[in-house]
């Protein structure tokens, strides 16, 4: 089984070890072989967006064919959960 046959690849590690660089490279490589990929950054630091010269956002941004990026903050994750799973709308104004 190829790495890109997997549905989900998680990249973790301490700060400064190359998580963003590795994630960007994996996303680009997957797109190059025709896989659709979205590199998702949690904790809202925004490094993946800046790596591609973009502004961090909760919405998926298309970087190239088959490759998108997203940045999630804690607040956005809670709001999404409240809206779509609990059906109660925004928690924080």
Buried b (16+ CB within 10 A) or exposed e, 47-58: ebbebeeeebee
Closest CA to 39 of 15, 82, 29, 75: 29
pLDDT at 46: 83
pLDDT at 10: 94
Q: Mean pLDDT, 10 residues at a time, over the chain (93 residues)? A: 91 92 97 96 85 91 96 83 80 57
């Amino acid at each position: 089984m190829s790495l890109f046959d997997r549905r989900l690849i998680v990249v973790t590690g301490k700060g400064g070890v190359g998580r963003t660089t590795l994630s960007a490279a994996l996303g680009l490589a997957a797109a190059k072989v025709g896989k659709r990929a979205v590199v998702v950054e949690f904790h809202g630091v925004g490094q993946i967006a800046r790596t591609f010269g973009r502004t961090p956002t909760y919405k998926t941004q298309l970087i190239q064919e088959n490759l998108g990026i997203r940045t999630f903050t804690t607040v956005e994750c809670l709001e999404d959960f409240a809206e779509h799973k609990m059906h109660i709308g925004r928690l924080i104004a």
